[in-house]
Structure 1
Amino acid sequence: MIMKTGFTLIELLVVVLIIGILAAVALPQYQKAVAKSKMAAVKPLLKSVKDAEEIYFESHGEYTSDLTELDVQVPEDASYIYVWSDNDSSVVGADLFDVTGGGYEIYLANSARQPGSFYCWASEDSIADAVCKSEGTLDEALTDYYGSNNYLISGTAYSAPHDPCDDLPPKSGCGCWNGEYMC
């Protein structure tokens, strides 16, 4: 009788199971490392845009949202870089949704709120949250304000503006706006 050599079905299943377990452990760590490197690559560009915005502000008395007006080389594919201002703050940011579900924001020097503060923010994506958590401390007030996790890397933490309605006792059937009952 001739003996056939080879692997049994059980042996093959054990090998597949071991490979599956290794992949389940290694893949999240790999994804985190890739996200961290992509987010780290955008930091110097973001800081350059911030510095160019500060120079622009010195010349024009305001920030610009048009990156082509700045004296900085921004890659054409850098659609994730943004600048915005409102009466509360002026920010240079990088949305990296496709990469991590998070990004960075730097509040500009003449911002009414948190000038110079540097944040890493993350949506519900656990990879982005892990990357941001490794870089800073959770700013709970800003997290409550925006609804996404915001980690302070440097600068001052957010302090929510005082709501005058908090000083009034509750009034049944009425809402409050700017310290006045709306009944």
Structure 2
Amino acid sequence: MKNHSTGRLGGFTLIELLVVVLIIGILAAIALPQYRLAVEKAKLGKTLSLLRSVKDAQERYLMANGQYATQFADLDISLPGNPRLVSATENAPWPGQQASFSGFSIDLLSAAKFVYSNIRLSDGSSISFGFRLAQSPSSNGPALCIATMGDNLANKLCKSYGVLHMTSSESWNYYTVSL
């Protein structure tokens, strides 16, 4: 179609198309990392909810029995799906049991007074969350988030939960976070 005022055909010039492509590229470069972080955080939400339930069940077990449970079967919750349960060996530092799910595992480290989860991220790396068990069921203390020092995604995820305190070792960052 011919534009009568300028005498040229309607449409977009190459420069206009390049500017649009450039703008889309800039927006994608900004949005994709945030989208990936949001997707991973949503996947973590389900795991953290189950981890908190296990922690609360451990506290109830303590009140009823005077000690923490070393087996998931002793707790008053049911684990979703059909997790693979593995007991710690006798030479392990703490007795306990691990429940392995698709994408994450939860460990009962009763003697260490800790409930711990290791979660695989979409990029193949992992992040760990843990709750310290207190001697009273009213304790809703902060959680511990552990990330490998060079793993940017895991460290960003830990920081996204609101860091209360951070320490580092040679290869790990330990974040005390509020969940």
TM bracket (short chain): 0.5 to 0.7
Q: Could you tell me whether the CA contact under 8 Å between 2:114 and 2:133 is conserved in 1?
A: yes
Q: Could you tell me whether the CA contact under 8 Å between 2:129 and 2:144 is conserved in 1?
A: yes
The amino acid across from 1:24 in the alignment is: A
Alpha carbons of structure 1 residues 34 and 151: separation in structure 2 relative to 1, 3 Å: same
Alignment partners' CA distance in 1, 2:174 and 2:49: 20
Identify which of 129, 133, 147 aligns with 1:108: 133
Identify which of 93, 109, 112 aligns with 1:85: 109
Instruction: Tell me the C-alpha RMSD between the 2 structures.
Output: 3.1
Match of residue 17 from structure 2:
12
The amino acid across from 1:32 in the alignment is: L
Q: Could you tell me whether the CA contact under 8 Å between 2:109 and 2:116 is conserved in 1?
A: no
Identify which of 63, 77, 84 aligns with 2:69: 63
Alignment partners' CA distance in 2, 1:119 and 1:51: 16
Q: Could you tell me whether the CA contact under 8 Å between 1:121 and 1:148 is conserved in 2?
A: yes
Alignment partners' CA distance in 1, 2:117 and 2:109: 14
Q: How far 1:86 sits from its partner (Å)?
A: 8.1
Identify which of 143, 150, 166 aligns with 2:174: 150
Q: Tell me, what secondary structure is at the counterpart of 1:15?
A: helix
Q: Could you tell me whether the CA contact under 8 Å between 2:117 and 2:130 is conserved in 1?
A: yes
Q: Percent identity?
A: 38
4+ long deviations beyond 6 Å? none
Greater fraction strand: 2
Q: Tell me, what secondary structure is at the counterpart of 2:159?
A: helix
Map 1:5-44 onto structure 2 (within 5 A).
5-44=10-49
Instruction: Name stretches of at least 5 consecutive residues in structure 2 with no aligned partner.
Output: 3-7, 84-100, 136-140
Instruction: Name stretches of at least 5 consecutive residues in structure 1 with no aligned partner.
Output: 111-115, 155-183
- The number of aligned residues is 143
Deviations 1:103-149 (A, max 9, x none): 31012236xxxxx6621222333233223223223431xx317x321
Q: Could you tell me whether the CA contact under 8 Å between 2:165 and 2:177 is conserved in 1?
A: no
The amino acid across from 1:128 in the alignment is: A
Identify which of 147, 153, 173 aligns with 1:122: 147
Alignment partners' CA distance in 2, 1:102 and 1:48: 19
Alignment partners' CA distance in 1, 2:54 and 2:108: 12
Q: How far 1:4 sits from its partner (Å)?
A: 4.1
Q: Could you tell me whether the CA contact under 8 Å between 2:69 and 2:110 is conserved in 1?
A: no
Q: Could you tell me whether the CA contact under 8 Å between 2:117 and 2:128 is conserved in 1?
A: yes
Greater fraction helix: 1
Q: How far 1:77 sits from its partner (Å)?
A: 6.6
Alignment partners' CA distance in 2, 1:53 and 1:130: 29
TM-score, structure 1 as length reference? 0.61
